[in-house]
Amino acid sequence: MARDLAGKRVILTGASGGIGRATAEALAGAGARLAVSGRNADALRELAGRLPDAVAIPADITSPDDRRRLVDEAVRHLGGLDILVNNAGVGSWGHFASSTEEINRRVLEVNFFGPVELTRCALPHLTDGVQPCVVNVTSMCGRKGMPAWPEYSASKFALVGMSEAWRGEFARFGVDVLTIVPGMTDSGFDKNWLRTDGKADLRFDKGMTPADVATGIVLAIRSNKTETVLGGEARRLLRFNKFFPRLTNWLIARKVRKLYTGG
Ligand SMILES: NC(=O)c1ccc[n+]([C@@H]2O[C@H](COP(=O)([O-])OP(=O)(O)OC[C@H]3O[C@@H](n4cnc5c(N)ncnc54)[C@H](OP(=O)(O)O)[C@@H]3O)[C@@H](O)[C@H]2O)c1
């Protein structure tokens, strides 16, 4: 199925910056009508002001009241709902041994429970939508757990798993579920991490641009592609891991030992 984005009514979370802002611009450019969300009200209003027929609805994805209000206000403004893009997320960079239960739970709240419960609020409206779909922005860490990303990997694996289960379940409502699996993106993501005590030399400046990811998301929605891995590095890592899982794990463990014990 090819999905025409013209006139589609969309809720997009995490639109105040990075990948979300670029995705809002790309979706609006394709003719979609948007309710853009996040916590930074000023950034959202600035964005909505530049897009035709867009509305800014500030909301904290971890708050049940905010989730309900976001869906209600978006549906009232847009006159219904066709697409929900769960893009809001937070990172946490460092090893499990130096983390805390609080960080673990916070990452799961933002990256898993928030989007999942927002989808619960949106589903009754999506079932009445035109070519409806849920788009979950996960990560390559949601397909291969990575050192220094323990909570983040767990949260994204959980969202990938929920997406797979929904795909079968939502078929009876005619609602498609699309999973986006981006690799490293130079979005400013690292400025918002909950902790930064990881050791590897991460080069976000060598990653994709937010516009690259936005282009991939729009293409996935248009072509109704079930799962889209974005970025050469993510594609290479996941393919290598698929065919050589033991070697991949050995190489990763060797790198961690070098970084942390010098051996
Ligand atoms: N950058 C990468 O390398 C990369 C790679 C793979 C996947 N991803 C995923 O891509 C998505 C977008 O990330 P990004 O790279 O664009 O990073 P970003 O610039 O930090 O954007 C994160 C967005 O999430 C929103 N957000 C965070 N906590 C929230 C909360 N409690 N309630 C509502 N909104 C919240 C932020 O808005 P407010 O601060 O205004 O709330 C912001 O708009 C995330 O799901 C991330 O995990 C990123």
Residue 209 near ligand 1, beta carbon < 6 Å: no
- From the number of C-beta atoms within 10 Å of its C-beta (0-12, 13-18, 19+), residue 212 rates as middle
- pLDDT for residue 167 is more than 70: yes
| Ligand 1 lined by 230 (C-beta under 6 Å) | no
Domains of the chain (ranges, CATH numbers): 9-237 (3.40.50.720)
The first and second tokens of residue 247, run together, are 């070697």
Q: How far is the CA of 126 from the centre of ligand 1 (A)?
A: 23
pLDDT tens digits along 29-83: 999 999 999 999 999 999 999 999 999 999 999 999 999 999 999 999 999 999 9
For position 4, what pLDDT does the model report? 96
- Is residue 134 pLDDT above 90, yes or no? yes
DSSP character string of 52-110: TT-EEEE--TT-HHHHHHHHHHHHHHHTS-SEEEE------BS-GGG--HHHHHHHHII
Nearest to 161 by CA among 177, 172, 147, 150: 177
Q: Which atom of ligand 1 is nearest to the CA of 187?
A: 15
Taking the C-alpha atoms of residue 237 and residue 77, their distance in angstroms, rounded to an integer, is 42
Q: Could you tell me the pTM of the whole model?
A: 0.98
Q: Quick check: is 260 catalytic?
A: no
Q: Of the candidates 205, 111, 98, 213, which has an alpha carbon nearest to the alpha carbon of residue 162?
A: 111
81-109 average pLDDT score: 98
113-14-75 Cα angle (round to 5): 80
Q: Please name which of 201, 189, 122 lies closest in space to residue 156, comparing C-alpha atoms.
A: 189
Mean residue pLDDT of the chain comes to: 97
Q: Which range is least confidently modeled, 58-67, 135-144, 191-200, 244-253? A: 191-200
pLDDT in tens, 210-241: 999 999 999 999 999 999 999 999 999 999 99
- Position 133, amino acid: C
Q: Is 119 in the pocket of ligand 1 (CB under 6 A)?
A: no
Q: What is the pLDDT of residue 262?
A: 80
| pLDDT surpasses 80 at 263 | no
pLDDT in tens, 179-210: 999 999 999 999 999 999 999 888 899 999 99
Give the position of tokens 């289960």. 165
| Res 201: pLDDT | 84
Catalytic residue among 93, 112, 113, 152: 152
- Among the residue ranges 11-15, 182-186, 259-263, the one predicted with the least confidence is 259-263
At 202 the pLDDT is 87
Amino acid at site 82: D
